[in-house]
Amino acid sequence: MKKIMIFAVLCVGGVIGYFAMNAMFSAGEIEKAQQEAAAQINKNLPMQVDELTTLEEVSSEGSALVYNYKVDVKKDETDLDVFTTEVKKNLMATMCGKEPFSKLYSAGASYVYHYADTAGDALTEITIDADTCKS
């Protein structure tokens, strides 16, 4: 489970510098900023973020930046509740109440994390946005 925690921090931390630039954008410009962020991140993908996890693609959907990960596990051998709880806890610790994310959330940004197993079966989807960070 420590490996899952580490990859979440590494992936998010690796792009904080780029997002800091996006903090200047108003709500009307956040969609374009997310498109640009996805294009920049995709230049370095796929990226092995730990021994089990690969960030395969990032896309933008409106004001959301969507991360697609493949995890070297089998869905039927994974406790999905534990997996989801741990990943969400770590994402929230990294992305809630911290800049530049607070400003981005105020502009309408959100971050969606899709995790799939080696066969491509969905493990979980986690959204981090202003509402998530309030909970």
- pLDDT at position 94: 92
Averaged in consecutive runs of 10 residues, what is the pLDDT profile of the chain (135 residues)? 50 47 60 93 96 97 96 97 96 91 90 97 97 89
- pLDDT at position 106: 87
- pLDDT at position 3: 54
- pLDDT at position 15: 52
Instruction: Give the C-alpha separation, 111 to 101, whole Å.
Output: 10
59 closest CA partner among 91, 44, 37, 29: 37
Phi and psi of 79, rounded to 5°? Answer: -80, 100
Q: Which residues on adjacent β-strands are paired with residue 70?
A: 54, 116
- pLDDT at position 9: 46
Write down the pTM of the prediction.
Answer: 0.81
